[in-house]
């Protein structure tokens, strides 16, 4: 028996997802829904599907699940977190300007900057970066199987986990992301597959293009922006505060020395709303 599901299309710096209030519209097979609805020719069109619900634990106010365009479930998405903050506040589901959001990477705190009943920007506490995680990155496999490291990497890259795995390569050829990302996502060094960022440090920030595992090239990636900022700082290419220029817009990232947490700030926007039969 089919049901009609109301959805909201939103984007953060061009990283677009379909958002559904799962407490009102439960979806039995979100992986299949993500694959069907994300199709940009035959579906709604998006980088994936995000389900919003009340938290099942007292440490958080709300919870999110996120599914990539290929149906795989992601652990975390900074752009989606910002959109959820705007969604919850502007739809009247909360009056809090600090929201605790449960993700598969733990509880993330959203700080909303509001003007009246509108959310102008959202800052997400993305937690601490991790440079060594053998379940996500095996450097031995990288050195033993270097064929996917094309000449533009120079054999160099920086692994950073923001809950989900990222491999950041600094280069002046960021437009090679589609070819390199396709090669690198499933490299044996990444047991869970990997997000790939190509980054070029410029005068007032860092130009980044990203290949997201399960979605391909996207307009922006919040965790990717954070991973790039951390990689740039840790290799002496940038300070702890930097601006990240992605295809879909600009994000501000701060890696605070006081708590070792990474903070992501940027806009979120509604695109359109509609209904779909499932």
**Catalytic positions, written as ranges:** 77, 221
Rounded distance, CA 33 to CA 22, Å?
A: 13
Q: Are 40 and 47 in contact (CB under 8 A)?
A: no
First-last CA distance in the chain: 9
Place of tokens 């003007």: 115
Count CB atoms within 10 A of the CB of residue 251: 30
Rounded-to-integer distance, Cα 273 and Cα 171, Å: 39
Give DSSP secondary structure letters for 192-231.
T--EEEEEEEETTEEEEEEEETTTEEES--HHHHHHHHHH
CA–CA dist 198, 88 (Å, integer)? 33
Token output for 36: 């069907």
């Amino acid at each position: 028996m089919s049901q009609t599901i109301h959805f909201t299309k939103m984007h953060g710096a061009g990283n677009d997802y379909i958002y559904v209030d799962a407490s009102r519209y439960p979806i039995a097979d979100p992986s299949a829904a993500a694959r069907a609805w994300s199709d940009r020719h035959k579906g709604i069109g998006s980088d994936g599907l995000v389900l919003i619900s009340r938290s099942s634990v007292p440490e958080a106010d709300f919870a999110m699940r996120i599914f990539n365009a290929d149906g795989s479930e992601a652990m975390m998405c900074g752009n989606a977190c910002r959109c959820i903050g705007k969604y919850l506040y502007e739809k009247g589901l909360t009056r809090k300007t600090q929201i605790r959001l449960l993700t598969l990477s733990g509880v993330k705190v959203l700080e909303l900057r509001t003007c009246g009943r509108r959310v102008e920007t959202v800052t997400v506490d993305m937690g601490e970066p991790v440079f060594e995680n053998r379940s996500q990155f095996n450097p031995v496999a990288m050195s033993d199987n270097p064929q996917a490291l094309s000449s533009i990497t120079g054999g160099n890259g920086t692994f950073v986990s923001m809950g989900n795995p990222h491999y950041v390569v600094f280069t002046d050829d960021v437009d090679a992301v589609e070819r390199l990302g396709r090669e690198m996502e499933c490299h044996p060094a990444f047991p869970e597959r990997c997000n790939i960022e190509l980054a070029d440090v410029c005068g007032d920030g860092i130009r980044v293009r990203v290949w997201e595992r399960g979605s391909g090239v996207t307009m922006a990636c919040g965790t990717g922006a954070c991973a790039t900022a951390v990689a740039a700082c840790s290799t002496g290419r940038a300070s702890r505060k930097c601006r990240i220029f992605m295809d879909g817009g600009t994000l501000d990232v701060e890696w605070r020395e006081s708590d070792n947490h990474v903070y992501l700030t940027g806009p979120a926007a509604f695109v359109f709303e509609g209904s779909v039969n499932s």
